[in-house]
Amino acid sequence: MKRLVLGFLAGLLALAISAALVAGDLMFREIESPFGVEETAARIQANIQSLEHKGWRLSALRDPSKAVAAAGANVPPVLLVEACSTTYSRPLLADDTTRILSILMPCTISVYKKDNGKVYIGLMNAGLMGRLFGSKVGSIMSEVAADQKVFTTFDPSKPAPALIRMQPGGGGGSGSDTSGC
């Protein structure tokens, strides 16, 4: 009996260690891009704009690598494309039990260059994250995950769109900030 209990505990420990090692790989997705950092970000922005009928709007384009450079260090380029859909955020923000998920808004897609010279896209695994919060959030986030696939699917035969350089809260210049969620 002692062997059985020790074997069971050892199995649980091995499972916990394995889960900790792969959790990051499950929560986030990384996709290699065939384009440079700015072109990748511009193509993502254009794809987001193609889903305006689903409430998607660009919120900001951030460049954290500039802040690091201003602090005296040098890092490879990083751009953060931020967007939000009121179609998906509305039901989450309207409910007291899910309003805390506003911490995940807006949806941020990272475009960065690694030391190997290649450009990558990093995003949250929205489908998996949604399932962690129950069926209502899971249903909404599965839609977000489907849209994220559209954001990161590129047609190389199409010319590169211009990068939209907007500041957080940039909105449409109407005086009210409706760009974020």
CA distances to 28, 153, 179 from 174, rounded to whole Å, are: 35, 31, 11
Give the torsion through C-alpha atoms of 89, 92, 98, 103, to 10 deg: 10
β-pairing, 119-124 with 28-33? antiparallel
Q: In what order do the strands lie in the sheet with 107-113?
A: 28-33, 119-124, 107-113, 78-85, 56-62
Amino acid at site 77 = P
Average pLDDT over residues 105-125: 96
Share of the chain above pLDDT 70, in %: 78
- d(CA 180, CA 159) in angstroms, rounded, equals 28
Which domains are seen in the chain, by residue range? 27-151 (3.30.310.70)
> Is the model more confident about 3 or about 161?
161
pLDDT in tens, 1-50: 666 555 555 555 544 454 444 455 688 999 999 999 999 999 999 999 99
pTM summary value: 0.82
149/73 Cα distance (integer angstroms):
34
d(CA 173, CA 55): 18
Instruction: Output 91 or 178, whichever has higher pLDDT.
Output: 91
